Chain A
Amino acid sequence: MMPAIGLDIGSMTTKAVVVEGASVRARVMIPTGSVPRRAAGQAYREALRQAGLQGEPPAVVTGYGRLDVPFAARRVTEITCHAVGARFLFPEARTVVDVGGQDSKVIRLSTDGRVLDFVMNDRCAAGTGRFLEVMAAALGLSLEELGPASARATRELTISSLCTVFAESEVISNLAAGEAREDIVAALHRAIARRVHGLASRVGLEPEVVFTGGVALNAGVVRELERLVGRRLLVPAEPQFTGALGAALLAETGGTP
């Protein structure tokens, strides 16, 4: 089988995956920046270089920047790509939760892996990775530190506002009131998890549930979401690449979702 390439141009990061047969040959991630087209080209070339491939194999392109990529052989939405990718990693998947930088989505699959239904968050950033980035900055923490910090929480605080602007001011006034950063982070994770869970209950949460996207790297959000769902979530080893993987698999089979 020929190697195939998939590109996921997300709002924050651009990912490229090269697959051959059932194995991944290369994987690249760079920031999307302000010109998605440029990031796409760069990730494409870099992935081919890593995989040691010549020529220009056709790419299936997904993510919010997919329409901006002139060399796309085919454009498919993130919904379908995350479904395909998650299903490949976990054949028992019936629900996929993808929380990226700007969007969160919940996808329900049939037993044979077709998309039955999906929902996405409405326009504001509440309940997305972007929200966490703003809050991390307000707390003076890096993204990587959020998950471990929340594991050390001791007190149950509530951040009631989900609007990024108001939540930020709540965080600041909590800090001013002397609350521990760990407790505030945990409260933020709970707020996000609640939001995502609310979204998920609109399509129904069939087990097994796979959690993808960059926010799945945050162990604190995973934990809170598991608590609400009432079961363990399946998190891929590289959750951010699930969409690009799905795109690559679609490129390989040339098939429709």
Chain B
Amino acid sequence: MGRDAFRQALADACPPREGAIGYVCTYTPEELILAAGLHPVRLFPPGGPTGPADAYLQSFCCSFARGCLDAALRGRWDGLAGVVFPYTCDSLRAVSELWRCHLPTRHHLFLNLPVRVEGIAALAYAAREFERFRQWLEMVAGATVGTDALHAAVRLVGAVRERLAGSSLLGREFLEVAMGAQVMDRFTAAELLEGLAPKTPPPRPGVGVLLAGGALEDPAILDVFEEAGAGVVGDDLCVGSRYAVLGAAWGDSPPGGPVVALARAYLERVPCPTRHPPERRLQHLLARIAQRQARGVVFLLQKFCDSHAFDLPYLRSELSLRGIPSLLLEVEQGALARGQALTRLEAFLEIIGS
């Protein structure tokens, strides 16, 4: 029952309620949105072929970014009160600009996050941007964002993240729930997440794989894995577990105030490849593999995603030095080239199973 609610939320895309704020990347501090009494909705484009956006974007823009603009132009998110684009990559930055030019969304904010996540200058700067975000939200909501509300929001999102991180769901089921939770009302999400038991049987021993990569459109992409007989035992995806691992919790009076503490938490999380320096990323990936006892890693790369593509040769060679096999599959329009992916996955399983 509970799972259907998440699936439904994902399909609905934009909850029919006031004060919905769309955002495109997990670097958006959704705690602030909630503290303003607004509703954070992560934007997942539907996948599949695009239409209207092709008039504005050339073929070498990744289909996730393109899909966001396309769905917006088709009216998928017409109900949003505002949209936030945190700085992540060159393509989404361009989509943010095009959204501003070609869509009538009332409020638009480019949250100018730093690329650097270490050092005092970056923290000071990020905190100022968070503060600017807070003021923007106050303007959109017509209400102030108080400290108590922020503490409550941090607790709420903390509960959602914690329950996701501790969930025993796997594969497509987990991804559906994780993605759904980023769209639906967070109270409901926190409640429903409690007591969600897995339906899929645990994977056959020896063929458990970990998924790694960036953004994805549709959890259905994991069906191929099931078809191939690959158990997905965990992920390091920005739409999945990476959303769950941010630890934003602090005592009653953190130094610098709660907004600074929030900024620090976001900078200290596992960096995605759009952030510098990158070293902690490999450590995190290795930890996930160990923790989930995965036998191999499947990288899902959005075609044309520069940030992830640059890291791949390095990550894969580090894994291989440690005897961990990996496979690369390219995602386009929210899907894998089915026939080809199936063959490659099966061959990969033969390798890791033996």
A interface list, Cβ under 8 A from B:
122, 158, 160-161, 166, 169-170, 173, 191, 194, 197-199, 201-202, 228
7 residue pairs, one from A and one from B, having the closest CB atoms: A198-B54, A201-B55, A173-B339, A202-B55, A160-B333, A194-B49, A166-B337
A160 in complex: contacting residue of B52, B54, B55, B335, CB < 8 Å:
B335
What are 26 residue pairs bridging A and B, where the CB atoms are less than 8 Å apart in the complex?
A: A122-B59, A158-B48, A158-B49, A160-B48, A160-B49, A160-B333, A160-B335, A161-B337, A166-B337, A166-B340, A169-B339, A170-B337, A170-B339, A173-B338, A191-B49, A194-B49, A194-B51, A197-B51, A198-B50, A198-B51, A198-B54, A198-B55, A201-B51, A201-B52, A201-B55, A202-B54
Q: Tell me the minimal C-beta distance from B157 to chain A in angstroms.
A: 35
Which residues in B have their C-beta under 8 angstroms from that of A191?
Answer: 49
* Given A170-B339, A198-B54, 13 additional A-B pairs, CB 8 A: A160-B49, A160-B332, A166-B337, A169-B339, A169-B340, A170-B337, A173-B339, A194-B49, A194-B51, A198-B55, A199-B54, A201-B55, A228-B51
Which residues in A have their C-beta under 8 angstroms from that of B59?
Answer: 122
- From residue 48 to 84 of chain B, which have CB atoms closer than 8 A to chain A? 48-52, 54-55, 59
Q: Quick one: closest B residue to A126, CB to CB?
A: B59
| Complexed CA–CA distance, A158 and B46 (Å) | 14
Which residues in A have their C-beta under 8 angstroms from that of B335?
Answer: 160
Q: Tell me the minimal C-beta distance from A175 to chain B in angstroms.
A: 12
Q: Quick one: closest B residue to A201, CB to CB?
A: B55
| Complexed CA–CA distance, A187 and B337 (Å) | 16
State the majority secondary structure of interface residues on A.
helix
Which residues in B have their C-beta under 8 angstroms from that of A228?
Answer: 51
Which residues in B have their C-beta under 8 angstroms from that of A201?
Answer: 51-52, 54-55
Q: Quick one: closest B residue to A204, CB to CB?
A: B55
What string of 1s and 0s marks CB contacts (under 8 Å) between B18-58 and chain A? 00000000000000000000000000000011111011000
Q: Tell me the minimal C-beta distance from B223 to chain A in angstroms.
A: 15
Which residues in A have their C-beta under 8 angstroms from that of B50?
Answer: 198
| Complexed CA–CA distance, A170 and B332 (Å) | 15
Which residues in B have their C-beta under 8 angstroms from that of A198?
Answer: 50-51, 54-55
Q: Quick one: closest A residue to B339, CB to CB?
A: A173
| Complexed CA–CA distance, A122 and B54 (Å) | 13
Interface centre among A158, A160, A228 (most CB of B within 10 A): A160
| Complexed CA–CA distance, A122 and B338 (Å) | 25
| Complexed CA–CA distance, A228 and B74 (Å) | 13
Q: Quick one: closest B residue to A172, CB to CB?
A: B339
Q: Tell me the minimal C-beta distance from B249 to chain A in angstroms.
A: 43
Which residues in B have their C-beta under 8 angstroms from that of A161?
Answer: 337
What string of 1s and 0s marks CB contacts (under 8 Å) between B144-173 and chain A? 000000000000000000000000000000
Q: Quick one: closest A residue to B50, CB to CB?
A: A198
| Complexed CA–CA distance, A173 and B50 (Å) | 23
Q: Quick one: closest B residue to A122, CB to CB?
A: B59
| Complexed CA–CA distance, A122 and B60 (Å) | 11
| Complexed CA–CA distance, A202 and B49 (Å) | 17
Interface centre among B48, B49, B59 (most CB of A within 10 A): B49
Interface centre among A191, A202, A228 (most CB of B within 10 A): A202
| Complexed CA–CA distance, A160 and B237 (Å) | 24
| Complexed CA–CA distance, A121 and B59 (Å) | 11
| Complexed CA–CA distance, A251 and B164 (Å) | 73
Q: Quick one: closest A residue to B335, CB to CB?
A: A160
| Complexed CA–CA distance, A159 and B52 (Å) | 19
Interface centre among B54, B333, B335 (most CB of A within 10 A): B54
Q: Tell me the minimal C-beta distance from A89 to chain B in angstroms.
A: 27
Q: Quick one: closest A residue to B47, CB to CB?
A: A160
| Complexed CA–CA distance, A170 and B34 (Å) | 45
Q: Tell me the minimal C-beta distance from B332 to chain A in angstroms.
A: 8
Which residues in A have their C-beta under 8 angstroms from that of B339?
Answer: 169-170, 173
| Complexed CA–CA distance, A202 and B56 (Å) | 7
| Complexed CA–CA distance, A100 and B264 (Å) | 58
What string of 1s and 0s marks CB contacts (under 8 Å) between B315-341 and chain A? 000000000000000001101011110
Which residues in B have their C-beta under 8 angstroms from that of A202?
Answer: 54-55
| Complexed CA–CA distance, A161 and B341 (Å) | 14
Q: Tell me the minimal C-beta distance from B63 to chain A in angstroms.
A: 10
Q: Tell me the minimal C-beta distance from B49 to chain A in angstroms.
A: 6
| Complexed CA–CA distance, A197 and B51 (Å) | 8
Which residues in B have their C-beta under 8 angstroms from that of A197?
Answer: 51
Q: Tell me the minimal C-beta distance from B39 to chain A in angstroms.
A: 33
Which residues in A have their C-beta under 8 angstroms from that of B337?
Answer: 161, 166, 170
Which residues in B have their C-beta under 8 angstroms from that of A173?
Answer: 338-339
Which residues in B have their C-beta under 8 angstroms from that of A122?
Answer: 59
| Complexed CA–CA distance, A228 and B49 (Å) | 13
Which residues in B have their C-beta under 8 angstroms from that of A194?
Answer: 49, 51
Q: Quick one: closest B residue to A159, CB to CB?
A: B49
What string of 1s and 0s marks CB contacts (under 8 Å) between B337-351 and chain A? 111100000000000
Q: Tell me the minimal C-beta distance from A226 to chain B in angstroms.
A: 15
Which residues in A have their C-beta under 8 angstroms from that of B51?
Answer: 194, 197-198, 201, 228
- From residue 165 to 192 of chain B, which have CB atoms closer than 8 A to chain A? none
Which residues in A have their C-beta under 8 angstroms from that of B55?
Answer: 198, 201-202
Q: Tell me the minimal C-beta distance from B81 to chain A in angstroms.
A: 28
Q: Tell me the minimal C-beta distance from B140 to chain A in angstroms.
A: 32
Interface centre among B50, B335, B337 (most CB of A within 10 A): B337
